[in-house]
Chains A and B, each alone.
Chain A
Amino acid sequence: MKILNCPINGPRPLQEFHFGGELRPNPLDRKDGADADWADYVFNRDGEPGVKREWWYHIPSGTWFIAERDNVTDQFQRTYLYGAEQTDG
């Protein structure tokens, strides 16, 4: 069984989680807002191999958090609440 460590609920089987996609900068922070930038935000993704920062959701408790995961080896490296990456996850 694959285990993911929820920052609030602790280690749980992966079946208790939902994958929320890569963590991306808020598009509203962009100053330009040209069509091409907006299209890039809406559609393009960093689907390349490597360690990714991703949104994950603990379904039973309703907890959204960030996980750093290698999308080739499937190893979770760190998990923390959004905005808390400075403190050790």
Chain B
Amino acid sequence: MNVAMNPAPAAARRSPIHDALEARGAEWRDVNGTTFAVRLRDEPAGDDIPAAALCDLSGLNQLGVKGPDAANWLSTAGVDVPADLYESRPLPSGGRVVRFGAHEFFLEDGIAGSKASELSEQLGFGAEQVYRVEHQDATFLLTGPRSLDVMAQTCGIDFREANGGRAIFTRVAGVSCALLPETIADQQAFRLWLDPSYAPYLWEELVVIVESLGGHVVGAGRLFPDLPA
């Protein structure tokens, strides 16, 4: 039964803002079966993180699971299961798992990780009371010293006091997002997950604000220099 109810997602994912990146002269690279813009034509030279950097990571593998046995199932598979609501933990091979509810979890691989995709393939084979929650979220990463100012202009939450590593469900420029404050290369960063149909709009809004603060849209290669070739 579970097999039929939990079809694995189709293989290749394409970012919902693929066209916007293409228009910025994206240099594409396939990593773990998904395509990333590693560098954009107008990016500043060098590899510094600009005042504010906006990066699309919508290709990352995601998995949502829920059900009475979801926590147990994840833990048996070697995942460090977050105990509290909205808490997040690193996945063994990079990426994060976030507790979205009493019995609901969201996993996203790191750029080189594969745990979420492995688990996704296993889900449904003999796992009772664990069900897939379909996720095709867009993932945006915002970082740099002025990323706080971008959030201040678009969201009602004061992130100066936000607790890193805990997800927050809120609205950014009017779009419902799950948001994870984190630290990348010693810089404050924010990961935004959102319904892909809103992604082109939110991307456009964020780009305007990021650029008005002297920031840039950057490829994944700048934030993750050890990206596999």
Chain A residues with a Cβ under 8 A of chain B:
1, 8-9, 12-13, 15-16, 58-61
A60 touches B156 (CB 8 A): no
Q: Among A1, A13, A61, point to the contact of B169 (Cβ < 8 A).
A: A61
A51 to B176, CA, bound (A): 30
Q: Which residues of B contact A60 (CB under 8 A)?
A: 169-171, 176-178
Interface of B is mostly: strand
Chain A nearest CB, measured from B85 CB (Å) = 7
Q: For B156, B168, B174, which residue has the most chain A Cβ atoms within 10 angstroms?
A: B156
| Chain B neighbourhood of A59, CB < 8 A | 171, 176
A13 partner residues in chain B, CB cutoff 8 A: 156
CA distance A18 to B85 in the complex (A): 22
Q: Nearest 5 CB-CB pairs, A to B? A: A61-B169, A13-B156, A60-B176, A60-B169, A60-B170
Q: Are the CB atoms of A9 and B156 closer together than 8 Å? A: no
Contact A8 B85 (CB under 8 A): yes
Measured CA separation A61–B157 after assembly (Å): 15
**CB pair A15 B169 closer than 8 Å:** no
Among B34-76, those with CB < 8 Å from A are: none
Whole-angstrom distance between the alpha carbons of A59 and B198 in the complex?
Answer: 15
24 pairs of residues in contact across A and B, judged by CB atoms under 8 Å: A1-B156, A8-B85, A9-B168, A9-B169, A9-B170, A12-B156, A12-B157, A12-B170, A13-B156, A15-B156, A15-B171, A15-B174, A16-B156, A16-B170, A16-B171, A58-B169, A59-B171, A59-B176, A60-B169, A60-B171, A60-B176, A60-B177, A60-B178, A61-B169
